[in-house]
Chain A
Amino acid sequence: MADYRLKTPLSEADVRQLKVGDSVTLDGVIFGVRDGNLIRVFDKNVPPPVDWHGAALLHTAPNVRKLGPGRYEPVSIGTTTSMRMDRFTEALLRDHGVRAILGKGGLSDKSAQLMAQYGAVYLSVTGGAAALETLQIEEIEKVYWEDLMPECIWQIRFNGFGPLTVGIDAHGNNLQRDVQMEAEKRTADILKKMGVA
């Protein structure tokens, strides 16, 4: 298992070298996305206001304080469950060139296959540890689609975000899925031992 420090935007080579379980610390701009804004992009066909080629997208749940028009500072920025946004993976990778999706809980096997095909990774953020994540933010640089507050697109600059864990690599491996399958297998044995056939 190796430790990497990478800067966004990410190249295909940046992400192809990663393996599940590796740690990645990210610097630079990361875009905060979630249900509301992705629905607008993909279901309402409104093109995203920024170019996402090489981008890292974070499934985020922000608490912010407004400083002035279009300007915000973080109060507590954490990570939300990724699986709700699973169906957007294909278009994000194929049409928008996204290289990394960040969130908690993992993505499906279908997403893992797509990541192998297009050259992208899923980076697992530690859920519930928002205090740490917030401290690693340098600035909320820009906010797009403020009418969706808090589900706007957040352009956040991080300094040393992580270390994050590679949950899905660009070679078809899916760590959280493997752990889950192993747990289900073990549970059958555990129940047998408990006398619950």
Chain B
Amino acid sequence: MEVPENFYSLIETVCRDLYIQSLKEIPPDVVEAVKRAASRETKEVAKRIFSHYLQSIELGRTKDMIVCQDTGIPIYWVEIGGNMRLDGSRLSKAIVSGTERATREHPLRSSIVSPLKRENRQTSTGERIPIIHYDFVADSDVLDILFMPKGSGSENMSSLKMLVPADGVNGIKRFVMEQVVGAGAKPCPPTIVGIGIGGSSDLCMTLAKKATTRPLGSPNPDPEIAALEKELFEAINQTGIGPQGLGGETTALAVHIESAWTHITCNPVAVNMQCWRAERRRAKVWADGRVELGF
């Protein structure tokens, strides 16, 4: 189905709203996980930190406040239904404009600078920013946009290792444990630990990030990978790092793995963490202008 002329301005508004709303409303699955984690703590300090998390979540929802001050790097994961006929370059432009409008109209802090001069356009955009990932879904009439304002505290803890096949799955386990423990308090634990395995270096890291966008605790469909997720989840939560690295029972809210096939000589693994606030917001848009918001 061909999209109408006003479709692109609709996308612009949708993207503006996704950015603003994502900073104020924490996804319900994340809220549930934070509540569950809070109820497991026995130590005074950990209980105190979790109560601050829950109060901030509540203020975002009820008082229209920004939960965490970091407006992040804007990232969009876009899935285009195979039955939709649209102009991809106009779609990209609308997403960029929506990002700029959110920043100007709210206003939001623009956290985006050029890499060397550190120049800030005050629009949350710049060369290749926002980051837009495209994917295509057969037999679908929907444009699905998932937005995340990726916070820097957790993003700065990202890492990739090109392991060799002889390192095996044990090499993967060791690397993940070292990275999560090494990050300590910095990514504002408890985090969602996203892990990419396989692919090339760039794909591996993209998979790690994509893994953090999955609904919390949803297992990977491959039972062998799901078992690895469970094993690492339990291991990370035995380290005792806890909320804000001040000690506690929960260091990870979830461990998600995404995979791709790789080269015979490669065994890449990537870790990308998402902080406790784990912000994401989704919109499904139909060609006739219907919009459904979700997470």
Residues of A within 8 A of B (CB): 1, 21, 23, 61-63, 65, 75-78, 81, 83, 104-106, 124, 126-132, 134-135, 150, 163, 165, 167, 175-176, 178-180, 182-184, 186-187, 190-191, 194-196
Contact (Cβ within 8 A) A190 B239? yes
Contact (Cβ within 8 A) B66 A130? yes
| Complex Cα–Cα for A186 and B241 (A) | 10
Residues in chain B near residue A132, CB distance under 8 A: 52, 55-56, 59
Residues in chain B near residue A191, CB distance under 8 A: 173-174, 177, 235
Q: Is B164 an interface residue (CB 8 A)?
A: no
Q: Which of B89-113 contact A (CB under 8 A)?
A: 107-109
Contact (Cβ within 8 A) A106 B185? yes
Contact (Cβ within 8 A) A176 B246? yes
| Complex Cα–Cα for A87 and B48 (A) | 29
Residues in chain B near residue A183, CB distance under 8 A: 181, 184, 239-241
Contact (Cβ within 8 A) A65 B63? no
**With A63-B69, A130-B68: A167-B63 Cβ-Cβ less than 8 Å:** no
Q: How many whole Å from B231's CB to the nearest CB in chain A?
A: 7
| Complex Cα–Cα for A65 and B178 (A) | 41
Contact (Cβ within 8 A) A150 B109? yes
Residues in chain A near residue B45, CB distance under 8 A: 1, 21, 165, 175
User: Which has the most chain A C-beta neighbours within 10 Å: B44, B63, B231, B246?
Assistant: B246
Nearest first, the 5 A-B pairs at minimum CB distance are A78-B69, A131-B59, A126-B52, A76-B66, A129-B56
Contact (Cβ within 8 A) A128 B66? no
Q: How many whole Å from B33's CB to the nearest CB in chain A?
A: 14
Residues in chain A near residue B170, CB distance under 8 A: 194-196
Q: Is B153 an interface residue (CB 8 A)?
A: yes
User: Which has the most chain A C-beta neighbours within 10 Å: B67, B173, B185?
Assistant: B185
Chain B: how many interface residues by the 8 Å CB criterion? Answer: 48
Q: Which of B24-69 contact A (CB under 8 A)?
A: 44-45, 48-49, 52-53, 55-56, 59-60, 63, 65-69
| Complex Cα–Cα for A23 and B44 (A) | 9
Q: With CB as the reference atom, state the residue of chain A lying closest to B50.
A: A126
Q: Is B242 an interface residue (CB 8 A)?
A: yes
Contact (Cβ within 8 A) A196 B44? no
Residues 238-257 of B, flagged 1 when their CB comes within 8 A of A and 0 if not, give: 11111111110000000000
Contact (Cβ within 8 A) B245 A180? yes
Residues in chain B near residue A126, CB distance under 8 A: 48-49, 52-53, 56, 243-244
| Complex Cα–Cα for A65 and B104 (A) | 12
| Complex Cα–Cα for A65 and B107 (A) | 8
